[in-house]
Structure 1
Amino acid sequence: MTLARSPACYGWLTVVLVILLVASLVASLAFGPASVPLTHVIGIVAQQMGIDWGPALSKSQTHIIWLIRAPRVLLGALVGAGLALVGTALQSVTRNPLADPHLLGVSAGAALGAVLVMLYVGDFVGVLSLPLAAFVGATGSMLLVIGVARRGGRLESDRLLLAGVAVSFVLMAVVNLLLYTGDQHAAASVVFWMLGGLGAARWEVIWLPALCVLFGLCALQVMGRGLNALMSGEQTAISLGFCGRRLRLEVFICTSLLTGVLVSLSGAIGFVGLMVPHVARLLVGADNRRLMPVSALLGGVFLVWVDVAARTLIAPQDLPIGIATAALGGVFFMLLLKR
């Protein structure tokens, strides 16, 4: 049963989610080791956008809100939206409700590429080095999973999930070996990065995940009808004029790009792509053309507030977001298995 069946209800739901996301972005700026009143937060944001907001505000508060928290909150919303999109697309293309970039080994491949750059290669193309290496790793791991799962020219969803878990274990073993044999001082920072977090967010890099999430949303929206057909079976997709093999390849490349860029900036944050699409389906059903935008908005709101919890639970230290999402996702995964 879905709540937003009619186009009017879907439109209102989208508007409500956009307002909720914007309100969450602003309200979450007030939380942290140094609490800032919400009225001051609104004033700082307004002044930075060129809007006159009465008397000048504290420079220290402006620095905390605009230079530290604002890029972190935006990155959290982008990462949540992107991972939710990836999970929605993978669940549709594999016809498996348990598909997720973390469980299919995509995140592990991205982490392997990023670790290689951080410990051994260095910045070979500047700021794009880490995202590029993570994208290559994510694409390679996805192709490896498909190769292992394919049997008799067919790609079965159950085998795909099992192959993803197996490949993920192997790749994480390689990552741990690289950490063990690499420089221990650098490895310590890499281990913290792998737990997942948004502390490295800066205004200079926000453009990259924003561009990738926008591209991913537009591309997956275009593929929406094909994904709907593919969910009904290979023969149905072919009868409607869609090439299942080409569509899968396009989806896998798009999701690998998104996962690689997001993992390179935030570390391995698991299970967002597993949980959020199921909540979105309860609201709008299984039509991917409606599901993609709603999943992205819900994912953004979800990770923004998970980051708030990570900043405040053990303040002044940050709790790695990956720990929180893994705990929530593990419980959610068990409930799905029971169903």
Structure 2
Amino acid sequence: MHPLFPGFEELLEAMRETASYGGGNILVRGVIRPGGNAGNTARVLAALGRRVVLGLVGSEQLASIARVMMPGVEVVRLGGWGECFSSIVEVEARERLVNLMFSDKGCLSAIGRDERIVERLEALIRERGFSAAAAVNIAAWGEPGSLSRLLNGLEILVLDTSDVRGRDPRRLLEALASYRASRLTILSMNENEAAYFSLHLGAGSPAETVERLAEFLGYTVCLHTPRFALCQPGDIRVDNMFYVDNPATSTGAGDAWNAGLLDALTRGLDLESAVLHAHRVASCYVAKGAPCTRSQLPG
């Protein structure tokens, strides 16, 4: 890897040393890799040979690092205002991990309410001619504002709330209900997110949670687990015939699943076939510990 700025390699070594002394967050293996749901999703799509643009809210320095860490992904900086931290590089030592963080005037909560970001995103979509998007970390976005109008102009929209801990379920559900692409909208969620919604909806099982969410939102909801996926409406259940017993990683599996789903839907596959393809892409990702090319996919 080429240093991004003077002292970058020394900084990485210091991060490894910090991890060796017990600092950082316990995650999974992997010496140096990109972090973040949007980055993971974009990398998987790029590995599959798809043209991918990632709209980044943050500093130009952060955008420069993202471009190095995500080859094949066009990273476009949309701006950045307000206080937050963004993580882009993760370093592991002795099974402990340290994040390289950048304090930045800009964070996810500004996306919906900052018209400058929405205007730049709208121009980006128009210039590139995109008709589909994966919108992740919805739980951190704040009020949708005019962003929902912009994304609703797309044909296909895959939504992911990501970390829902500490979020107001009523406000989050209201925000999710404001999104509706012209042809197909899907809320993708894992088991933890389903458990969060089940408490608010009074659902007694994952299947009931999916059904009630789909009824409330008025569009498709899919729950994905390592062994199967459930989608409503339509009573779709697709078992994962590509399940990996001893994965190299599990972090990023849901992002890979979303990428596989979006890849299939934009190639015209029906939902059941798209879910099977998402299983294939995610399973290859966790087995390899990195995004797979199309020729590397099982089956």
**TM-score (structure 1 length as normaliser):** 0.29
**TM-score (structure 2 length as normaliser):** 0.32
Higher relative contact order (CA 8 A, sep 6+): 1
Between Structure 1 and Structure 2, the one with more helix by share is 1
Between Structure 1 and Structure 2, the one with more strand by share is 2
